[in-house]
Chains A and B, each alone.
Chain A
Amino acid sequence: MANSDKNIIITPNINQASVPSLSFIGAGNSSISLRVQDDSFGTLSFQNSGTEQFFAIDSNFTGLLRNRSNIFRVNDRNGQPVLNANCAFNTTVDLCPGEGNVKVHGHNYIVSASYTMTAASRNTIVSNNNGYIHFDIASDPQYFCTDNSVIEIVSSGNYGLRFWKDGIVSFFMHQDIISSNANSYEYVDFYITGQQGGTSGTRGRHLITSTNGQWDTLAAYQMFRVRSGDTLEVRIVGNNDITAIDVGNWSHYNVLFNAINF
């Protein structure tokens, strides 16, 4: 590792078996070579000293080698493609065709989450005929959030879910419930706190007719625009007649979040 290591070596290899190459070597003495491969597409391959290709471009517009040659290709350390741009037949941009993560704005473009509610908050709502949902993943693998840096369970105040990115929240809930009356209703109240739209407030209400002593489902679907730091609070309100609310497999709160820069 010295200034004396620096070099750019051009090796045309005219009439030689070896491929033409341009080697770039810095003071770190770790070379990257641009090699012109022996194929019909003029492939330019950027390789390390161990000859692993990490980046290549070619002029393959024919599709003859569609599954292995692309006009632009970035590889991982194992030589597996991470990014392909393929113009054969039809334009295709392939991101992480094997494993690996594709992130937009620093996270998966779509984040999904599945929650139930805590037994304690269920008991409070039944007891008071009014209360906020305390979301829970209950240490059960069927409940999850694919990216906790985007959606976080809030466990103080009015509880709810906090979002740490700007985007659109699609919220789907199915909550089994029994109420004793037949001529009133129970409803769920969605409330956004934070900076969305400049003010906090109610963003939607959904009801079912009181269930007359039978199990029924309080179902609601709604979208919300949120900014990073906003919290979605969900409250169930009865008419002094809620007698039971289920949890676990009979209680699902699902979230689909997609990043939008607005």
Chain B
Amino acid sequence: MANSDKNIVITPNIGQAGLPTLALTGQGNIPISLKVLDDAFGTISFQTSSGTQLFSVNNSTTGSIFSINDLSGLPVIDVSSEGNVDLAPYGGSVRVHGHNYIESANLTVTAASAAAIVSSNNGYIHFEISNNSQDFITNTNVMEINTSGEFGLRIKKRGILWCFVSHDIITSGSSSYVYITFKVNGTARGYHLITNTNGQWDGFTASQCFKVNSGDIFSIQMVATDITNVDRGDWGKYQFLFHAV
């Protein structure tokens, strides 16, 4: 690693078996070579000193024309002459704005908040991951459970949040209704109701999408006059899908 290592060496290899090569070496003495491959497409391949291809372009009329490769030579980004773009085709992560393009969460309600809603006929859903085999948040850098104020979810990126509710309840009346309110930063963004269930289990289903910004709190309030039971676990699911915009 010295200034004496620096060089740019052009080896045309006219009339030779070796590939035409432009070897570029900096002070770190880790050369990357631009080689013109022996194919019919004029492939220009950027390679390490051990011959691993990092990046290549060619003028083929079929198949790959632009490829970025990992250390085993497998493509990480591949563009075909047919116009297809393949990102991480052999595994790994594709991230947009620093996270997966779609993040998901599957949560249930805490026993305490279910009991509080029954007791008060009114209350906010407190989310929890109660069963690690089925409840999850794919990226807590994007959304996390909020444990104060109106509880709910704290959103940490700008995008669109989809919420899907499937929650079983019992109310004693047969007229009027029970409803949930979706709120963003305390402001109602949607109401969803079902007619009171006349003492029978019934399913509260709702879905809606929202524009959210980093720092927003998304909360859900359940309001009724005669709730007698609110289930949780397998019978009380709150699912979220977030995508970057």
Q: Are B27 and A19 in touch, CB under 8 angstroms?
A: yes
Identify which of residues 209-262 in chain A touch chain B, using a CB-to-CB cut-off of 8 Å.
Answer: 211, 213-217, 219, 221, 249-250, 252, 254, 256
In the complex, A5 has a CB within 8 A of chain B: no
Chain B proximity mask over A81-117: 1 for CB below 8 Å, otherwise 0: 0010101001111111111001000001110111000
Interface SS of chain B: helix, strand, loop or mixed? strand
Closest chain A residue, CB of each to CB of B1: A40
CA–CA, A36 to B26, complex, Å? Answer: 5
The number of chain A residues touching the other chain, given as a range, is 35 or more
CA–CA, A113 to B205, complex, Å? Answer: 19
Task: Write out the residue numbers on chain B whose beta carbons fall within 8 Å of the beta carbon of A176.
Answer: 191, 193
Q: Are A57 and B32 in touch, CB under 8 angstroms?
A: yes
In the complex, B19 has a CB within 8 A of chain A: no
In the complex, A59 has a CB within 8 A of chain B: yes
Task: Pick the residue among B7, B46, B176, B191 that contacts A250 (CB under 8 A).
Answer: B191
In the complex, A174 has a CB within 8 A of chain B: yes
In the complex, B208 has a CB within 8 A of chain A: yes
Task: Write out the residue numbers on chain A whose beta carbons fall within 8 Å of the beta carbon of B48.
Answer: 42, 59
Task: Write out the residue numbers on chain B whose beta carbons fall within 8 Å of the beta carbon of A59.
Answer: 30, 32, 48, 52, 54
Known A-B contacts A61-B71, A91-B91; A97 and B46 likewise in contact (beta carbons under 8 Å): no
Known A-B contacts A93-B94, A102-B96; A221 and B30 likewise in contact (beta carbons under 8 Å): no
Known A-B contacts A97-B95, A112-B160; A38 and B193 likewise in contact (beta carbons under 8 Å): no
Q: Are A110 and B101 in touch, CB under 8 angstroms?
A: yes
Q: Are B195 and A214 in touch, CB under 8 angstroms?
A: yes
Identify which of residues 187-217 in chain A touch chain B, using a CB-to-CB cut-off of 8 Å.
Answer: 211, 213-217
Nearest-neighbour CB distance to chain A for B205, whole angstroms, equals: 6
Task: Pick the residue among A39, A90, A114, A214 that contacts B176 (CB under 8 A).
Answer: A214
CA–CA, A102 to B245, complex, Å? Answer: 8
Q: Are B195 and A215 in touch, CB under 8 angstroms?
A: yes
Q: Are A252 and B4 in touch, CB under 8 angstroms?
A: no
CA–CA, A142 to B188, complex, Å? Answer: 10
Task: Write out the residue numbers on chain B whose beta carbons fall within 8 Å of the beta carbon of A96.
Answer: 96-97
Task: Write out the residue numbers on chain B whose beta carbons fall within 8 Å of the beta carbon of A250.
Answer: 191, 193
Task: Write out the residue numbers on chain A whose beta carbons fall within 8 Å of the beta carbon of B162.
Answer: 112, 254, 256
Task: Write out the residue numbers on chain A whose beta carbons fall within 8 Å of the beta carbon of B192.
Answer: 174, 217, 252
Task: Write out the residue numbers on chain B whose beta carbons fall within 8 Å of the beta carbon of A146.
Answer: 160, 245
Task: Determine, out of A7-15, A120-128, A150-158, the stretch whose residues face the partner at the interface.
Answer: A7-15
In the complex, B68 has a CB within 8 A of chain A: yes
Closest chain B residue, CB of each to CB of A114: B209
Closest chain B residue, CB of each to CB of A212: B195
Q: Are B96 and A12 in touch, CB under 8 angstroms?
A: no
